[in-house]
Amino acid sequence: MKKYLLTFVVALIIGFFLSNFFLKQYDNFEGIKVSNKGETLYFIQYGVFSTLESLEENTLALQNYVYSKQDNLYYVYVGITKLEDNAKKIVDYYKKLGYETIIKEFGISNKNFLELLVNYDEVLKNTNDETAISSIINQVLVKYEEVVISGS
């Protein structure tokens, strides 16, 4: 019996240290936190840059954005929505400003952000005022940074 108890305790200790090691890998995560589970959202991508300095130089004119780092490339997103029609509206808004963007789909499972996004999407769906569209886009990006990236 003691033989099994010692094996069990050693396995628990090893499991504890391994789980701490893997969880600490995400403390310094630089990307957009997404998962395959949850709801599919439309992210409006502004560009891809090879360095952080290049990203910063090319986004000076943007009011707000979020970015992720994947495979040593920086992906910049300037809008997030649940509705495909709103995604097209955001792309059209940026096209009028002279920016080319594309729509990417990601799965998000953060319930707090998804609940907030429903309200913003409803307002965005019902407006064509460019000032309102700009304001909504910026508010969504700020909330995404607060709720999903920072985890507040």
For the chain, what is the domain count?
Answer: 1
Q: How far apart are CA 11 and CA 28, in angstroms?
A: 28
| Residues 64-106 pLDDT 10s | 999 999 899 999 999 999 999 999 999 999 999 999 999 999 9
End-to-end Cα spacing for the chain: 47
CATH number at residue 53: 3.30.70.1070
Write out pLDDT tens, residues 56-66. 999 998 989 99
pLDDT band at residue 119 using 50, 70 and 90 as cut-offs: very high
Q: How far apart are CA 124 and CA 79, in angstroms?
A: 12
Here the tokens at position 35 are: 């998962």
In a domain, 21, yes or no: no
Helices (H), 30-104: 52-58, 84-96
Residue 98 resides in a domain: yes
Does 105 map to a domain?
Answer: yes
Expressed as residue numbers, the domain containing 76 is 31-149
Output the pTM of the full model. 0.73
